[in-house]
Amino acid sequence: MNATSKLRTIASDKLDGVVYATSYLSDSRTTICVYGDPPGLRSLACKLLQLADLNQSELDGRSCSNSEGVHVHLDQSMGIHLSSCQMIIGRSDAKGTGDDRWITGACDPAIDP
């Protein structure tokens, strides 16, 4: 299976079990909480490992353009709890360059989630 097909599988496979994510502001700091039952947490961990192991350089330009990191949106349609916020999980290293977009400032979460 090529890298683009692997990414499609990662992005389309629903989570097993239940996962719930929320965030709150406390003392001017945002805290992100991720909870789940054992199958849900294992399934989320599996998705994270699959993204970590994916060879971004083999992805086509539609799936991940150069200078971007691959990411997947997880919402209620993917098995996230109905009262959970959407989660985006992804790689910080940019395809093509390997630069860490968060350290270099190339990715501003306020405008480029």
List, for residues 41-97, the tens digit of each pLDDT value. 999 999 999 989 988 888 877 777 776 778 888 888 887 888 888 888 888 887 777
Q: Quick one: average pLDDT of 93-102? A: 71
Note the pTM of the prediction, 2 decimals.
0.77
CB within 8 Å of 37: residues ≥ 6 apart: 17, 18
Chain-centre distance of CA 92, in angstroms? 10
CA distance linking residue 10 with residue 64, whole number of Å: 14
Sole residue written with tokens 């001017």: 28
pLDDT for residue 7: 87
Write down the pLDDT at residue 113. 43
- Collect all residues with Cβ–Cβ distance below 8 Å to 79 and sequence separation of at least 6: 14, 15, 16, 17, 18, 19, 40, 43
